[in-house]
Chains A and B, each alone.
Chain A
Amino acid sequence: MIYNLAQLLERTAGRFPEKEAFTCLNDSLTYAELDQKANQLASYLVENGVRRGDRIGIFMNRCLDTAVAVYGILKSGGAFVALDSFLPVNRILMILEDCDIKHIVSTPSQSRKLKAISDAAPIIKSIIGLSNEFDTVTVSWASIFSRSLNSFSPPKILELDLASILYTSGSTGIPKGIMHSHHNILGLARLEAELHNSDEHDRIGNFAPLHFDQSLFGYFSGPLVGATTVIFPDSYVKLPASLSALVAKEKITLWFSVPLILLQVLEQGDIENKDFSALRLVRFGGEVFPVKQLRALMMKWPHVKFINSYGPSELFRCTYYVLKEPPKTDDPIPLGTVWGNTEYKILDEHDGEVAIGEPGELVVRTAILMMGYWNDIERTQKSFFKIKKATGYDHVYYRTGDMVRENTQKELFFLGRNDRQIKLRGYRIELDEIEAVLLTNNAVKAAAVIMMQKDADSRTLEAVVNLEDTMEYSTEDLIRYCKDRLPPYSVPERITILKDLPRTATGKIDRPQIIKSLETTSL
């Protein structure tokens, strides 16, 4: 029986030692090589003091060694924390401090930014994957891969142990760390393998970066069945013509991404001139796929099965909807029905269940629910809805914050959010967080951040601020201030300085009025 992620890899390495586990452009690793290299990294980490549950950062662009980093950390008993290399240094430091990261696994292409991080973060004891001389100890990949494993004794790992912390934006301005156990990620890998009916003949297209939970499909569900995961480098994911050429060349059979990547491939990928006959299943999730474009793509790829999947990172995913044919109308695509080991309720504002067909908040109970938010019991408790079955025995549901309704076929439809979280180009963004960051600037007296929708395909973030009278500050300065503190996708496209923000009669910021005035001033 396997119950942790180290065993997942070891079992597949035993079954298919010579099979390609991961490839990235011209490099690849077989399952036996990956297992060996992961053990070597684990032996280094254990020798340098890493103990079960310790958090290890991964600071890498999309490359082959990410697979070694993930499995090496897990085999050491540690938990991996994937750091988005596009985040500003300040925000990375916040995460390092929040979960007390002492070791970072990286790669030479990140050395420019790592220098700034290691200079500012004295808690970092070592950086693996670099040969540069920093003040911090650096250990090259070559020296890791030449280690002998004779004296390495793998630590004991239970399925209950922490495997990963996924950071996401929090409305207060401090990122939230979602904790997942070995059990949760293994459970996700099994559910995904069942959903795709995947096996060792599959080739998985991995388009998501490691800090985005869609990547867990390629990193774990692929190895669970002995499939090959093809890691697409950042430059390919951002250039659709190159992306579609590589999908065709690599004979990808399973695709999972945000709708945006599929949209770009449809519109700029030159797909008529490429061979996608190997592709058998496309799954998308993370935000709503505009129906017109989805229909167009399905017409171009009639041999492919399309699945919409939905779920917040706190429980990875919970529903899926199989599209049997291109949608006939422009009605929104359902989120679908829940998959295995999962149930739900739809609640009104008083936590009572709504009647069928009525809108309400989706709450989900599942075997792969997060352990909680790292170092934040209060936010964890707030996110749970509990039904007391007996003293000391509760059914725990996660409050998704997503408003849904259910039709008579038990299919769920997404209606919107019950808070100010938005999805933009697949990213989860808290508008309150951007306002909170603007307000940390002494020059800013009041701030409102708004998502402007010019037409169906173009949405942008804008901010309006009111400055302290005595402060001289330009909009460029404010945008720079945001860039230094927020993920790039959360930085407002435009910031407008107003003498006073429009207020309602009760003194609250009047957002509808702001939207109106911005609409008249935009091009």
Chain B
Amino acid sequence: MNDRIISYIISEISIEPFDTIGLDEDLLGSGIVDSLGMMKLVLFLENEFIVKIPPEDMTVENFGNVQNISAYLSHKLD
């Protein structure tokens, strides 16, 4: 799951070309993804993993880094 998320970020939404992204790297704080990119990422996750992500779930705890996104999705898919 981590790999699918990272490869989407790198290929579709990252501001600069990156080789890889750390699991705990702050996606929004260190200039990897901007707010438009975050919206695209949420749409991608909804389609890719067939989940509904309500606005109140879009928090720093759930979407701050790749590790948190995976944990959130795993929890949703259970």
> Residue B5 at the A interface, CB < 8 A?
no
Name the CB-closest residue of A to B31: A85
Name the CB-closest residue of A to B57: A241
In whole Å, how far is B57's beta carbon from the nearest beta carbon of chain A? 7
In whole Å, how far is B39's beta carbon from the nearest beta carbon of chain A? 9
- The count of residues in chain A whose C-beta lies closer than 8 Å to any C-beta of chain B is 29
Q: Is B55's CB under 8 angstroms from A238's CB?
A: no
How far apart sit A233 and B28, CA to CA, in the bound complex (Å)?
Answer: 9
User: What's the count of A-B pairs with C-beta under 8 Å?
Assistant: 71
Q: Is B16's CB under 8 angstroms from A89's CB?
A: yes
Q: Is A235's CB under 8 angstroms from B28's CB?
A: yes
> Residue A201 at the B interface, CB < 8 A?
no
- Given known A-B contacts A61-B29, A109-B29, A235 and B64 have beta carbons under 8 A apart: yes
Provide the residues of chain B in CB contact with A235, threshold 8 Å. 26-29, 60, 63-64
Q: Which residues, 52 to 75 on B, are CB-close (under 8 Å) to A?
A: 55-61, 63-64
Q: Is A239's CB under 8 angstroms from B60's CB?
A: yes
> Residue A410 at the B interface, CB < 8 A?
no
- Given known A-B contacts A86-B15, A268-B55, A239 and B38 have beta carbons under 8 A apart: yes
What 8 A-B pairs come out closest when comparing CB atoms? A268-B55, A235-B28, A238-B35, A270-B56, A242-B60, A242-B59, A234-B29, A85-B31
> Residue A175 at the B interface, CB < 8 A?
no
Provide the residues of chain A in CB contact with B34, threshold 8 Å. 86, 238, 488-489
Can you pick out 8 interface pairs between chain A and chain B where the beta carbons lie within 8 Å of each other?
Answer: A88-B15, A88-B16, A113-B31, A238-B34, A240-B58, A245-B59, A268-B55, A425-B35
> Residue A267 at the B interface, CB < 8 A?
yes
In whole Å, how far is B37's beta carbon from the nearest beta carbon of chain A? 8
- Given known A-B contacts A235-B60, A239-B63, A268-B58, A488 and B28 have beta carbons under 8 A apart: no
> Residue A112 at the B interface, CB < 8 A?
yes
> Residue A345 at the B interface, CB < 8 A?
no
- Given known A-B contacts A112-B30, A113-B31, A233-B29, A483 and B58 have beta carbons under 8 A apart: no
How far apart sit A85 and B67, CA to CA, in the bound complex (Å)?
Answer: 23
How far apart sit A88 and B15, CA to CA, in the bound complex (Å)?
Answer: 8
